[in-house]
Structures are given as structure tokens and as C-alpha cells.
Amino acid sequence: MLSVAVAFAQGPPAGELPNAPGKDTLQRVCGVCHSPNVVLGQRMTRDQWSNTVVTMIGRGAKGTPAEFNEVIDYLAKNLSPSEPAGKAAVTRAGNNPPPRARVSSRDRLMIDPEAAERGGTLYKAECASCHGPAARGTIEGSDLVRSVTVLHDRSGDDLGPLLSTHHPMPGGRHLPTLSKEQLVDLSNFLHQQVANTLRSGPYTKVLNVLTGNAKAGAAYFNGAGGCNKCHSVTGDLAGVASRYEPPALQQRFLFPRVIAFSRSGMAEAKPVMVTVTEPDGKSTSGRLLRMDDFNVSLQDADGNYHAWKRTRELKVEKHDPYATHDALLDKYTDTDIHNVVAYLETLK
């Protein structure tokens, strides 16, 4: 019978988030669907956490921009690559290893870019000749991206035993004994290749969108696009390029309703406003909540909820700040888009 004592050398106990500002917000916003174990042990940069939060928003996460920014700040400060991950030091009675927990889809390895780079160097030296430069296999070696062992491996726990006992090498050569650190690096590299394959390129790096002509972009902005009718380069767009990276700039003018991240945090989209005038002349304005052929509802400036049944006598005026952007989506050419981005990038 195994006796396993687990003492945490660093980090919080299993299942417990670090106590810091933002913890309560994280639990309230994210705890609806996830347990703390989903983020514990993961180490990502602010940009990586931001992308993860945006993905969760796209899947239906509920919260305000301020709450999501607080969640990102908490994760970036407390679960970043610079913070040591919580590691368990395991002692046991007897020589048998403790049983491994079953790996689930939520227990995926969070790739450490620096470890993956070191693992890539090791892979090129020892593995690429048989398994190919991207680990997709050759006639000499199997496709590691589809390997069950690789997919189940966590930090070399499965790779180590396989490589030490069941891994023939060409020409009778023996694979050098790999240290625990090397196995961790190799595991990170192989999981990176899996992730790259699933994403189908461009391998997590945003493509260069600054391929247009800034002068032509300015002409479109002030001419055919009609952008200057609502925007001013000395007003609301002054210094816009210092607030957004080029990919975010492109997203902001193409899909302004979609949440984008500026250099200082998450950008809040403007709400659609509506004014409802009743038959007796009473008008109520506020943020549109819902409108269809039968009903309309809004939230006024004081946070009060109002709803009406739509009739011929009820006047409804919708004020959508992004209506022009929506209309332009059918008119832009790829050249127009890249030219405008190149122009906006000059507004620093």
C-alpha cells in the first residue's frame, strides 16, 4: 500500500489560487466554468493570458471590460513565466512510483517558449534525421505529432522511459541518456510542434500587416472611405498607433465591436444606443439590450431596465456607432485595408 506525502516546495497548495488583488474577480468570472486547477501551474506572458481571455470571451464568458482587465492583471502578475510554478516534492514508502492521474483535455501542457527552443536544438541534433524537422515523420521514423506517447507526456514523464528502453537508433547508435531538464525541454518542443500543426500556421506569430501604402491609405481615409467624416487624426485618432499594435489597429477598424487589446489594456467597444418615444411623446434613451420585431428593451443611464412591445405608434430610433464600419466591409478591397492600416500606423 502506497503512502504518499506531498509537500509543496514553491507556490500555493494544489487547488488554491495565490492571494492577490483580482483573485475574487477571477473566481467570480471564470469559476462559473473552470476550477482553479485549470490555471494553476500554467505560466504565460501578459499577451498569452490576454489571448486566452479573449478566447474565453468568444466562448461566452460574461463580465465587464474592467473585470476582464482585472483578471488579466491578476494572471499576468501571479502566473507569469517569471513566477516559479508550484512544484510537488513527492516522498513515498517502497520503490513503486505513485499512480499517475489520468490526463484530461484540461490538463494540457502549457508550452514554455524558452524550453521549447532548447528542446528544438536537442531535437535537431538527435531526432530530426529520422522524425523530420517538424516532427512529422519520415520513412525512417514515425510522426511524433500524432504519437500517443507525446500527446500523453507531461514534462518527459512518458518520453523518458520510452527513450531509455524502447528506442532503436540507426546504425546501432544509442541515444545519449537525457537529463530530466533535457526531457522537459524536448517535451515542450514536441508539444509546440503539435500546437503548430493544430493551428495550421503561421505558428502562433501574427503575420506582418504593414504591407500597404500609407499615402494611398490617407487618400482613402479622406476620400472614398469617408473615414474623416466621423474621425479626426488630431482628435480621437491622435496617437492611435502608439496605443495599438498593427494587427490590433486592423481589427479595430474592420471589426470594432470585437474586443481588442491596446498596449495599456482591453479596449471597450461603444454600446449601441436607442431612443424609444411612446405615443404620448415620452422619450427614453439608453443602451440597447434587445430588439426584434416584437419587443425592444434598454438600460438607461441610471442602470434602470425598460421594455416595450413594438407597435406602429411606438417610435424607435437606433444609434449604432459602428454602422458605417459594417457597411464598409462590403466595399473594402484587400489593398484598401492594408493601405489604411499603413496610414493609421503613422499616427503616433
Tens of pLDDT, residue by residue over 80-96, are 876 554 433 333 333 44
Would you say 86 and 10 are in contact if contact means Cβ atoms under 8 Å apart? yes
Q: What is d(CA 249, CA 255) in angstroms, rounded to the nearest whole number?
A: 10
Q: Give 302-343 pLDDT, tens digit per residue.
A: 888 899 999 999 999 999 999 999 899 889 999 999 999 999
Mean pLDDT score, 185-193: 88
Split at pLDDT 50, 70, 90, the class of 13 is very low
Is the model's pLDDT at 10 over the cut of 60?
no
The helix (H) or strand (E) run that includes residue 67 is helix 65-78
In sequence order, what E strands does the chain have? Answer: 4-8, 88-92, 260-262, 265-267, 273-277, 283-291, 295-299, 305-309, 315-319
> Which residues, other chains included, contact 88 with Cβ-Cβ below 8 Å and sequence gap of 6+?
6, 7, 8, 9, 14
pTM higher than the cut 0.75: no
3-class SS of residue 277: strand
Q: Taking all residues of the chain, what is their mean pLDDT, rounded to a whole number?
A: 79
Confidence at residue 172, expressed as pLDDT on a 0 to 100 scale: 60
Q: Is the CATH number of domain 4-78 1.10.600.10?
A: no
Q: What is d(CA 237, CA 203) in angstroms, rounded to the nearest whole number?
A: 32
DSSP 186-199: HHHHHHHHHHHHHH
Confidence at residue 30, expressed as pLDDT on a 0 to 100 scale: 84
For the domain covering 108-199, report its CATH number. 1.10.760.10
Is the model's pLDDT at 244 over the cut of 90?
no
- What pairs with residue 319 in β-bridges? 273
> Which residues, other chains included, contact 114 with Cβ-Cβ below 8 Å and sequence gap of 6+?
81
Q: What is d(CA 97, CA 87) in angstroms, rounded to the nearest whole number?
A: 17
Is the model's pLDDT at 201 over the cut of 70?
no
Q: Give 134-153 pLDDT, tens digit per residue.
A: 888 888 788 888 888 888 88
Confidence at residue 317, expressed as pLDDT on a 0 to 100 scale: 96
Is the model's pLDDT at 250 over the cut of 60?
yes
The full set of domain ranges for the chain reads 4-78, 108-199, 214-269+325-344, 273-320
The winner for highest mean pLDDT among 5-9, 191-195, 285-289 is: 285-289
Percent of the chain at pLDDT exceeding 70:
76
Is the model's pLDDT at 3 over the cut of 50?
no
Q: Give 21-31 pLDDT, tens digit per residue.
A: 988 888 888 87
Confidence at residue 283, expressed as pLDDT on a 0 to 100 scale: 96
Mean pLDDT score, 206-223: 90
Write out the three cell numbers for 78. 501571479
Is the model's pLDDT at 206 over the cut of 80?
no
Helix axes 180-199, 113-126, angle to 10 degrees: 100
Q: Do domains 4-78 and 108-199 have the same CATH topology?
A: yes
Q: Compute the Cα dihedral for 280, 282, 287, 289 and give only its sign.
A: negative
Choice among 13-17, 52-56, 198-202 with the minimum mean pLDDT:
198-202
Q: Give 262-295 pLDDT, tens digit per residue.
A: 666 666 678 899 999 999 999 999 999 889 999 9
Pairing of strands 315-319, 273-277: antiparallel
Question: Rounded to 5 degrees, what are φ and ψ at 305?
Answer: -95, 135
71 exposed, middle or buried (CB, 10 Å; 0-12, 13-18, 19+)?
A: buried
Find the length of the chain. Answer: 348
Identify which of 67, 84, 87, 86 has the alpha carbon closest to the alpha carbon of residue 25.
67
Q: Compute the Cα dihedral for 44, 48, 51, 55 and give only its sign.
A: negative
Is the model's pLDDT at 72 over the cut of 70?
yes
Confidence at residue 213, expressed as pLDDT on a 0 to 100 scale: 95
171-195: buried (b, 16+ CB within 10 Å) or exposed (e) per residue?
eeeeeeebeeebbbbbbbbbbbbbb
Q: CA of 268: how far to CAs of 264, 271, 280, in Å?
A: 12, 9, 36
Q: Give 45-55 pLDDT, tens digit per residue.
A: 877 787 777 76
